Amino acid sequence: MQKAAVNTMDKLADYHIHSTYNDHSDPDLTINNVIQIAKSKGLKKIAFTEHVRKSSDWIPKYLDEIQRCAIASSLDILSGFEAKILQNGDIDCPSEYRTEYFVIASFHSVFGNKQVWINALKSVIRDPTVDVIGHLAPEPGMKVSESEIRSIAEEIVQNRKVVELNSKYRRPPLDWILTFKAKGVRFHLGSDAHSLNSVGSFENINDLIVAANSL
């Protein structure tokens, strides 16, 4: 249930699942229903990573519900959050939950400035409370050079972060994955599920998985 580093391409592990603790998931995506559907699909490990803000007041209830539902489950379950990357390089997550719980940092806003975007990303990569960089891809129309991608990869490796292969958005881009792989970046799988049928579903990123597993 606690924070843990993960580095696996195992399709029986889904490290990015949402729930009804946000306002845009399906109404049946309850904690208990996620656990039951994950078991029915043969998953062995899941991570609840609900969208969070520094102002979120539902966190204790959310964490308590995961703990209660997990007690009777044979699944290995991580409790955590998906936090928005801010322009200043911070993440939108209360500080008291960052160290103990599993944290994915993701872009959810368009900055419109490549250098601001790269600086924010590298700052988050260096943040010791962040475990995973989620659905990573440049902003629409943003051209990131090969040397800039390599520099990002070097930061990821140096700071021991994991990069998520996200099946909802099909990210990172294939060329980024190949560069990351060559630099020794570690990957794992996340469905980014906002519905029950998306839990543990990775079929649409088989090509990205093959690339990340390539020698």
Instruction: Supply the pLDDT for residue 214.
Output: 80
pLDDT tens track, the chain, 215 positions = 456 656 678 899 999 999 999 999 999 999 999 999 999 999 999 999 999 999 999 999 999 999 999 998 989 999 999 999 999 999 999 999 999 999 999 999 999 999 999 999 999 999 999 999 999 999 999 999 999 999 999 999 999 999 999 999 999 999 999 999 999 999 999 999 999 999 999 999 999 999 999 85
Instruction: Supply the pLDDT for residue 6.
Output: 65
Instruction: Supply the pLDDT for residue 4.
Output: 61
Q: What is the set of domains in the chain, with CATH numbers?
A: 13-213 (3.20.20.140)
- Give me the sign of the Cα torsion angle 133, 134, 139, 142: positive
Beta bridge partners of 162: 132, 186
Residues with Cβ within 8 Å of 60's Cβ and at least 6 positions away in sequence, in order, are none
The 8 Å CB, 24+ separation contacts for 58-62 are: 58/21, 59/94, 59/97, 62/19, 62/21, 62/31
Strands of 102-106's sheet in order across: 13-17, 45-52, 76-84, 102-106, 132-133, 162-166, 186-190
Instruction: Supply the pLDDT for residue 9.
Output: 87
Inter-axis angle of helices 174-183 and 206-213, nearest 10: 20
| Per-residue pLDDT tens over the stretch 192-206 | 999 999 999 999 999
CB 184 within 8 A of CB 160: no
Which token pair is 50?
């609900």
